Each structure stands twice: as C-alpha cells, then as structure tokens.
Chains A and B, each alone.
Chain A
Amino acid sequence: MTRTAVLKNLRILDPSRNLDEKGSIVIENGRIAAIGASAQNQGAPEGAEVVDGRGMIAAPGLVDARVFVGEPGAEHRETIESASRAAAAGGVTTFITMPDTDPVIDDIALVEFVLKNARDKAIVNIHPAAALTKGLAGEEMTEFGLLQAAGAVAFTNGRNPMHNAQVLRRAMTYAREFGSVISLETRDKYLGAGGVMNEGLLASWLGLSGSPREAELIPLERDLRIAGLTRGKYHAAQISVPESAEAVKIARERGANVTCGASINHLTLNENDIGEYRTFFKLSPPLRSEDDRKAMVDALARGEIDIIVSSHDPQDVDTKRLPFADAADGAIGLETMLAAALRLHHSGEVPLIRLIDALSTRPAKIFGLDAGTLAPGARADIVLIDPDEPWLATKDTFVSRSKNTPFEDARFTGRAVSTYVAGERVHSLG
C-alpha cells in the first residue's frame, strides 16, 4: 500500500547516526522520506495522515535476535503469526527465529517454510536462523551456503550447546567463506550438569542442584579461541555472568570477530526472583546473583555486551506446572523486552540511546539485517515509545499464545505506543 504519513513533534533517537533531536518523520511508500528537525516544518503532503507524537520517542523498530516459536511442531505454544503480533505489541519489527522446532530447521525446505509463513501471516519481519548441525545433534554441519542463499541469517545450535570442538572448528572454518554468523549458547556438558539454578546459597537452601558460572565461561573461552583460530564470525547468544562479557572483550582485543548478547531477563531479574520454586523464572542459563546482574548492566552500558534479546520461549502449563527441577526452561519476552529495558534507563544505569542501539541497531548490524536505522530512504520500521507511561503487565494483556512470563503483574514505566512496519501501523495502543 502506498501511503503517506507524518509523525511530528517527536524526540528522534537513531543510534545508527548517533542522532537525538526533536523533529518529524515523513513516511512515503513504506520508506522514510524525510526525518529530523529539518522535516518538522516541511508541512504534510496532501492526503497524509498526521500523527502528533508529543512526548513520544521515535526509534528504529526493535530487532530481536533470539525468538523461539512453536511452528512447526508446537503451534499450541506459539505460531509464527502469534509471535509476530506479540512482537508488534512490544515494538519489535524484526526478529530471528531459532531452529529448535519439530522438525528442526536444518534444511532449505524448512527455511522456505518459515519464510513463506512469515510472508503470508506475520505482521513484522521474520528471518530464520538455521541449525548449525543436522538435527542440532552437534555432529554434522548443515548446508551453510544453500541455507543462507535460501534466507537463513545465522547458524546456531539453539538451546543445545556445541560440545565437540573439532566439529565447531570445521563449521566455523567452512562458514567463513560465506560470511555466516555462528551464534551459540555455551554450557559445559559435565560441569554443573543437572544444575537447574544458579549455584550458591539460595540453591543450597532450596535443595536444587546448582550450575556454576564456570559451566558457561569455560566453553565460551574455548569457543572464543576457535573463533580466533578460524577468523569466523562468532556471537555468544546469551551470556549470564559479567566474566563472559569480559572474555568476549578480551577476545575482541586479540582481533577475533566476536560479539555477545544477553537476555532482558538476565539484565533485570536475579535468582532471588525464583522465591519458592517459581518455574516461570527457570531459565537456561539460570538467573544469577544481583551482583552479577549489576555488573552485566554495566557491561551493557559500556557496549561490551552488544545486544539485548528477549529469548522469547513460549511454554505451557504442561511444561511449567511441575516441580522446579522437572519444569522446562524459558520465558516469553517479546512484549515486555522494551518495557523491562526502560527500567535500566529510568534507573540511570544505561543511556537511552545505548539501549536502543542494543535493541535495534547493533543486532541489525551483527546479523546483516536491513533494519535498525531511521536514515532517510530506510524502510519505515519505527517504534513510538512513551517512556513515562505507567502500566501493569497483567496476564490477560499478553498477546502471545503462552503466558509464561516472569513479569506477570509487574509494574512498568514506558512502553511501545505504536509500531510501524514498512510504514504500516501494526500496533497501536488505544
């Protein structure tokens, strides 16, 4: 649809150009025709829809690099379509799906399946990450070249860490030819195996087996060495302790092409939230201590943690309403990622422009996506944020098919008021 709209009286935050100024955005044919203070007094073209955005922040639509959907295989938890609506409600205009479905996305036909469903049913941009190894089994590499040509934007082993260093080395060496990003979560196969929460006093009192930070850190340091050895692009998908950010920083200083992300949960929650066995807080990696969380936030503010992901992982009562150790890991997050991230802005811990960078511009850059910018000519993927609106995240307000949120009944300040994808408004409050 070709339409013209003018969003005016906005505070425009565009980390891609380090821009923070008052002004307007003119949208034409799904693209940004003009933006900024200079566009403010241009006047609206004939027939244009005019939106007064007084008090609002305009930012590039958020880019979430780690989203689990239930399609194919577990559509009762989440479909591509329902996830896209949850994304729009949270200001996310682009996300990357994880290949941990049934069947696993390790074949061209399955990449095409995801893209076709996304094209036909989704209201935001969706890009699949394909499996790094066949069936996510960690043994045989997939067809990186062909999968990438079909539209896969990254390769990952999803929830499964890579245990075999030799397989990883070959995969990274081979993938380098195609410039592919390899995104992995690290968890030692033996150290802390069976651990269901952060190792420490709290786990000891609850009688739950703990997972030490070293279980994440040791294989991460190994992977970073392999990244240096192969000169491939490596992304640590979800770190949970500041020592991991430190390790990535050191590897980067050695010249390795490495980046890292953290889930919003690990930046805003800690192990104490588990209380008396609340399974919605059971995550992998586990929530860590408050000291860890604070240090992670500092690393995010310094840009050492590159990006924030939701790690949106829909689970239902069958997998969550169990004794803690038996319950599945994971929490939904598409709808609350922005609001939770704004807590870090309101607390003064992370500047707003760095948050938007970590939520949009940097992930777009790392995964080579056409997103994360409000530059003239860019596709008009925009989120309008009211940074000060107080709201309560009650269960019935969630769009996602699954309700396993750690933020049930949480009080937030600030949220996505409108979301635009290619100039179309796909979400609007009230």
Chain B
Amino acid sequence: MHFFPHRHLLGIKGLTEQDITLLLDRADEAVKISRQREKKTSTLRGLTQINLFFEASTRTQSSFELAGKRLGADVMNMSVGNSSVKKGETLIDTAMTLNAMHPDVLVVRHSSAGAAALLAQKVSCSVVNAGDGQHEHPTQALLDALTIRRAKGKLSRIIVAICGDVLHSRVARSNILLLNAMGARVRVVAPATLLPSGIADMGAEVYHSMEEGLKDADVVMMLRLQRERMSGAFVPSVREYFHYYGLDAEKLKAAKEDALVMHPGPMNRGVEIASEIADGPQSVIEQQVEMGVAVRMAVMETLLVSQNQGGRA
C-alpha cells in the first residue's frame, strides 16, 4: 500500500498522483461511514483537533468540525476573525498559545497567502490548510476531485472548465494543480482582468468565451465573484458579467450533455450562475458538500494515523 509521506496538508503542490489517489480512496470509505445510521467511529479517539479560523467561513468550519467528530476526535473551534489585534501578530501568538495545549491537528483558515506554512513551522502538530489568502485550498480541490471521480469514474483525460474569478481564487489554484497531477485537461474561462499573470504557463488552456471554453467539457466549475469586484474594478457590472460569463442554460449547451456543474459555494445566483442551473439536473453542488466532509475525514485520518504509526515504528 502507498504510504502518505506528508505531515501537513498545506497545499496540493507537492502531492503526487499516488498521494491524491490514496486520499480519494479513503474518502470513498468515509462516505460510507457518513451514510450509515451510526456515523461515529473511534479512529481519532483521544486526539484533539483545533479549528483556527481567522476568516469567517461557516461552511468550511462546520465541515471540518463534523469530519473530526465523526472520527471521534475532540474538536475545538477558535474564531479569531473579528479580533482587533493585527492579523500577523495574532497568527504567531495564537499558534504558540495553542501549541502549548498539545493539539494533534490544527485546521487553519487565514486571509494571507503562506499563513498555514508559517504556522506549520511554529507548531509541533499537523497543520491542515483550510484556505490561505489567494494561495491554496487543498481540501476543496480534493472534494471536487472526489465528486468528479464518483460521477465520471475517473479523472484522467476529462475536460474541466474552471470559469470566473481565477485571479483571486485559491480554489482555482488548488484545482489546477490537482487536475494536472491526475492527468485531466484544464481550461480556464474568464475575462483577462480576472486571470493571473502567467496563467498560460500554469497548466491551463485559456479562453475568454464561455462558448469556446465549455465546448465538449465534462465538468463546468464555476467560481464565486466577490461583490466588491463586480462594479467597475475588474468587470464593468454584474449585468455585463452575467451576460458574458454567467452560467445559464444557453451557455451550458456547449458542454457535453452529461457535463457536471460545480460550485465551491457560497453562490451568487444571477451573477456567476443562474438559479435554474444551480438547482438543475446537472448540478452536483450538494454532493460537493457531502464529499467535503468525507475528504476532510480522509485527510485527518491519513495525517494523524500514519503519523502515529510513524511514531511507534
């Protein structure tokens, strides 16, 4: 069996195809647990998981919390998003304080890129990156991959179109890395103002038209566009953005008939995605939420159990 060689999950970067496959296989098992009547196991009994969220995110935090609890861990939530203390100071100071409490895993969400990596240097437990600035959000990419693999049976050679605000998206970066590692073909579809510099060298084909970008796609992955970026700063208006890049029935026709529609949430209905599509038959947005818990169970089990075995060996 493949041995997972990492102590932390800071990003998809650095993971091999085998690492990712192992996590997805374990997540498939975790889905079964979550669908049972008795959902609690004792895999992580006696271990402590701390969720350290410097940015508020009810969805991601609950998903991690549920994952930990289903594995039998003691879960503690720390929301420091509203703290008036300067962000950076809070990060290191809070990390040192928490470290003294001997947690086994820290789940971190922070608005600055590299925050999870910095924290991992300062604490003695495993660190899971739950989103750091515009850098990475590895568990989101894993849950997306699990959703796709369960629907399509594979990840290699499928065409995935990632549409919208790629520039500011950690989800897009992690997905581009993961899908490339698994042999999928990745496209990005967005106005040039919402694409990062050097995107053509990041392992994605670049499109500026939904019709061309979605042609023959197996998966259409929509990204959230934040409100402050909609009116003149990056795109002229919500109306114009929806007209060219919002996913509606007409644009979705360009993709394969059985193409999956995905969104990491929370959605702006009528901005990047029409309600009829979000709630339509091709949408797997709800499955993504379910897979989220399973993937996070798999990640924590893998980091903590293999770490313990390493310790005993």
Contacts and interface: CB of A to CB of B under 8 A. Distances in A.
Interface residues of B, number: 27
B198 interface: yes
Interface string A180-216: 0000000000000000000111111111111010000
B202 A323 contact: no
B202 A207 contact: no
A149 interface: no
Given A201-B197, A201-B202, A204-B196, A326 B112 contact: yes
A322 B91 contact: yes
Interface in A251-283: 276-277
B198 A204 contact: yes
Contacts of B91: 322-323
Contacts of A322: 88-89, 91-92, 112, 118
B110 interface: yes
Interface SS of chain B: mixed
Nearest to A276: B117
Given A204-B202, A207-B132, A207-B133, A325 B113 contact: yes
A170 interface: no
A321 B86 CA distance: 13
Contacts of A325: 112-114, 133
A323 B199 contact: no
Given A323-B110, A324-B113, A325-B113, A205 B88 contact: no
Contacts of A152: none
Contacts of B199: 204
A206 B135 contact: yes
B94 interface: no
A330 to B, nearest CB: 16
Contact of B197 (A200, A321, A326): A200
A324 B197 contact: no
Interface string B91-102: 110000000000
B155 to A, nearest CB: 21
A207 B134 contact: yes
Given A277-B118, A321-B92, A208 B198 contact: no
B73 to A, nearest CB: 27
B170 interface: yes
A210 B86 CA distance: 23
A352 interface: no
Contacts of A209: 134
Which range contains the number of A residues in contact with the other chain?
A: 20 to 34
A323 B197 contact: no
B53 to A, nearest CB: 15
A210 B113 contact: no
A206 B114 contact: yes
A204 B88 contact: no
A154 interface: no
Contact of A206 (B89, B113, B201): B113
Contact of B173 (A200, A202, A205, A327): A205
A200 B199 CA distance: 9
Interface string A322-355: 1111110000000000000000000000000000
Contacts of B92: 321-322
A277 B134 contact: no
B7 to A, nearest CB: 15
B115 interface: yes
B278 to A, nearest CB: 27
Nearest to A208: B113
Contact of B88 (A203, A206, A323): A323
Given A277-B113, A277-B114, A277-B118, A207 B198 contact: no
A203 B110 contact: no
A263 B114 CA distance: 26
Contacts of A199: 197
Interface string B63-100: 00000000000000000000000111101100000000
B112 A324 contact: yes
Contact of A205 (B87, B112, B132, B202): B202
Interface in B190-210: 196-199, 201-202
B139 to A, nearest CB: 16
Contact of A207 (B87, B118, B136, B201): B136
Given A207-B135, A323-B112, A277 B87 contact: no
Question: Among A202, A206, A207, A326, which residue has the most Cβ atoms of chain B within 10 A?
Answer: A207
Interface string A35-79: 000000000000000000000000000000000000000000000
Contacts of B118: 277, 321-323
Interface in B165-203: 170, 173, 196-199, 201-202
Question: Among A208, A210, A276, A323, which residue has the most Cβ atoms of chain B within 10 A?
Answer: A323
Question: Among A205, A210, A212, A325, which residue has the most Cβ atoms of chain B within 10 A?
Answer: A205
A200 B114 contact: no
Interface string B218-239: 0000000000000000000000
B173 A207 contact: yes
A112 B228 CA distance: 49
8 contacts: A201-B198, A203-B196, A204-B199, A208-B114, A277-B114, A322-B88, A322-B118, A325-B133
Given A277-B113, A321-B88, A325-B113, 20 more contacts: A201-B201, A202-B198, A204-B196, A204-B199, A207-B132, A207-B133, A207-B136, A208-B114, A208-B133, A208-B135, A277-B118, A321-B118, A322-B89, A322-B92, A323-B110, A323-B113, A323-B132, A325-B112, A325-B114, A326-B86
Give the top 10 A-B pairs by smallest Cβ distance, nearest first.
Answer: A207-B135, A201-B198, A323-B112, A322-B88, A277-B114, A207-B134, A204-B196, A207-B113, A326-B88, A323-B115
Interface of A: 199-210, 212, 276-277, 318, 321-327
